[in-house]
Amino acid sequence: MDRLEKALQKARSLREAALQDSAAVAVREPVASVPAPAVEIRPKRAADVQLSDDVLEKNRIVARQSRSGEADIFRLLRTKLLQAMNRSNLRTIAITSPTYGDGKTTIAVNLAMSLALDVKQTVLLVDLDLRKPMVHNFLGFEPKVGLGDYIQNDTPVPDCMVKLPVDRLVVLPIREPIENSSELLGTPKMIALANELKTRYADRIVIYDMPPLLAQDDVITFLPNVDGVLLVARDGVTRTDDLKNCLHSLGDSNVIGTVLNGSNERQFNRA
């Protein structure tokens, strides 16, 4: 059994224990019944940023590399995720972890890129860490507009989307940090956007790069709008208690897997 599999099993048993514990925190009821206008979301423009291999490498964005053990690990993660998603017909996935620095954004960007390279689906990567948006930094571009402009200034969503020079990969970035993030994530406007992103195109996967679960309630606020959660833990850093607290907080939401980031053990040997 590989390390990832062990981590997934551990997370499953922790989750079962957490669900049996009467102290488990209830997840908020979905507020998706709030009526909200339809949101036009098709990106208008062709690729409008460049990617630099040096910048990507410095930021550990490796998924595009063809001969790399790290890229292979993301291909493995992609396969496992797609299997889980296809089994249950999931289209939208939130990536979160106990604290900052666990590797959520690193994994979200790599995974989105790896999924897009797999030709069978298009991918939208949404930066939903409103207070510390980092997706554009990891990819090495400065957004002129972003999700905040949709939320606060009614900028049409397609104008906020950035088409990358990777086929089938679009990013919805955040231009600058936004305060009162958890209130914003629960607004009818955000719920309408999440619903639109989920339902508009059958072959599209949406990856949300979320803030940490333990620091703020943004994730819990937004979770009713996503199909599944990928929980990141950092090898040698994440405390078992913190992971347990996360699983308590996630309640009965659909945790589809755990990623152990930063493990020194190789997941598998390349042929």
Ligand X SMILES: Nc1ncnc2c1ncn2[C@@H]1O[C@H](COP(=O)(O)OP(=O)(O)O)[C@@H](O)[C@H]1O
Under 8 Å CB-to-CB from 57, ≥6 apart: which residues? Answer: none
Q: Which of 103, 146, 173, 186 binds ligand X (CB under 6 A)?
A: 103
Stretch that binds ligand X, among 23-31, 95-103, 196-204, 246-254 (CB under 6 A): 95-103
Residue 136 within binding range of ligand X, rule CB under 6 A: no
CB closer to ligand X out of 191 and 207: 207
For residues 127, 181, 88 and 201, what is the CA-based torsion angle, rounded to 10 degrees? -60
Q: Of all residues in the chain, what percent are helix, strand and coil, respectively (each to 5)?
A: 40, 15, 45
Per-position x/- string for 252-271, each x denoting binding to ligand X as judged by CB under 6 A, each - no binding:
---------xx---------
Residue 102 within binding range of ligand X, rule CB under 6 A: yes
Under 8 Å CB-to-CB from 9, ≥6 apart: which residues? Answer: 1
Is the Cβ–Cβ distance between 145 and 155 less than 8 Å? yes
Stretch that binds Mg ion, among 13-21, 53-61, 104-112, 213-221 (CB under 5 A): 104-112
Stretch that binds Mg ion, among 29-37, 96-104, 218-226, 253-261 (CB under 5 A): 96-104
Under 8 Å CB-to-CB from 5, ≥6 apart: which residues? Answer: none
Distance from the first to the final alpha carbon of the chain: 18
List the interface residues with ligand X, window 40-59 (CB under 6 A).
Answer: 59
**Residues forming the site for ligand X (CB under 6 A):** 59-60, 97, 100-106, 134, 261-262
